[in-house]
Amino acid sequence: MRARYTNLARIRALDPEHDYLPIYQTMLRYEFPWDMRLGLNLAFNRSFSIPSIAALHVATGELTERTQKRIDDTGLLMYEMVLNGFDQPRGREALRRVNHIHRPYDISNDDYLYVLGCLVVIPTRWLQRYGWRPPCCHERQATYRFYRELGRRMGILNIPGSYEAFEAWFDTHDAAYLKPNDEAAAIERATRMLMLTRIPKPFARLGNCLVSAMYDVPLRRATRVAAPAWPVRAGLHLALKTRSRLQRWFGAPRTTPLFADGIKAKSYPDGYEISQLGPQRAHVPGRSGA
């Protein structure tokens, strides 16, 4: 049992202000690989559901017409930055690619900030509820610090000064702007397949109900997803809580890190170049020849 907390002991010996990258890497690659990836999926789903963001994505067609590639590209760019940081060559190249992809679009600072907030808050809350242990203060701080640095390098302004402040800003913005809209509903229908891949095979027949049960009420309302029956919601909650306890009591620290053999994606069975990721020529709504 004591060995289960070896990584946590190492994390607590680090300074999350300066060592945020190894802490966040440990969370993703060793401590919570399944939960972190699911939490990031939920974060992206939520970020696509704000009306102004959803409208842009529908207009470009990237999420509704080229869904698998768009999902794969987003994940690959994100994981390249997490695995390599912002100062190593592949991390720098991934960040440049992210900035290049977004440059043609007229996106408000608040929309950028909301997406960043989703990445900070949503996976952390998932871990707090369903992780085999809740994230410690060092891990919350490191998560915030990683995305604050990403935001800074993307030119995002007015990033709140702490995890707690960002969480409060996120909740206020979410309550004000996450409203029902047809574009978010269209994106959710197109991207639901990604969430379905996170459902264990024995429960595949209940996949759609379980995915809907993973969404909270505001996200279901925004994406026009019907609430699943309460036995499904209760059963999912019980199953996830049971899983967390079994992992805590009987699990062992992961010895092989996530992505040890590279980051794989369906769209690139033979590997990929970072320069390939994202649209090669952005379609900018309202601009001809863009």
Could you read off the pLDDT of 37-49 as tens digits, one per residue?
Answer: 999 999 999 999 9
Distance set, CA 146 to CA 29, 120, 121 (Å): 15, 9, 12
Q: Please give the pLDDT value at position 290.
A: 27
Tracing tokens 């030119």 back to the chain, one arrives at 155
Q: What is the C-alpha separation between 52 and 48, in angstroms, rounded?
A: 9
Are the beta carbons of 67 and 260 closer than 8 angstroms? no
Dihedral (Cα; 203, 205, 211, 212), 10-degree rounding: -130
- Residue 288 domain-assigned? no
Q: Please give the pLDDT value at position 282.
A: 53
Are the beta carbons of 27 and 143 closer than 8 angstroms? yes
Residue 221 neighbours by CB under 8 Å, 6+ apart: 178, 180
Q: Please give the pLDDT value at position 1.
A: 64
Q: Please give the pLDDT value at position 201.
A: 74
Q: Please give the pLDDT value at position 288.
A: 34
Q: Please give the pLDDT value at position 161.
A: 98
- Give the domain range for residue 53: 2-269
Distance set, CA 277 to CA 73, 282, 284 (Å): 5, 12, 17
Q: What is the C-alpha separation between 146 and 24, in angstroms, rounded?
A: 8
Sign of the dihedral through C-alpha 185, 155, 149, 139: negative
- Residue 290 domain-assigned? no
- Residue 280 domain-assigned? no
Q: Please give the pLDDT value at position 160.
A: 98
Q: What is the C-alpha separation between 76 and 276, in angstroms, rounded?
A: 11
Q: Please give the pLDDT value at position 3.
A: 86
- Residue 289 domain-assigned? no
pLDDT tens series, the chain, 290 aa: 678 999 999 999 999 999 999 999 999 999 999 999 999 999 999 999 999 999 999 999 999 999 999 999 999 999 999 999 999 999 999 999 999 999 999 999 999 999 999 999 999 999 999 999 999 999 999 999 999 999 999 999 999 999 999 999 999 999 999 999 999 999 999 888 777 877 777 777 788 898 999 999 999 999 999 999 999 999 999 999 999 999 999 999 899 999 999 999 999 999 999 999 998 765 555 443 32
Q: Please give the pLDDT value at position 281.
A: 65
- Residue 25 domain-assigned? yes
Q: Please give the pLDDT value at position 192.
A: 87
Give the total number of structural domains in the chain.
Answer: 1
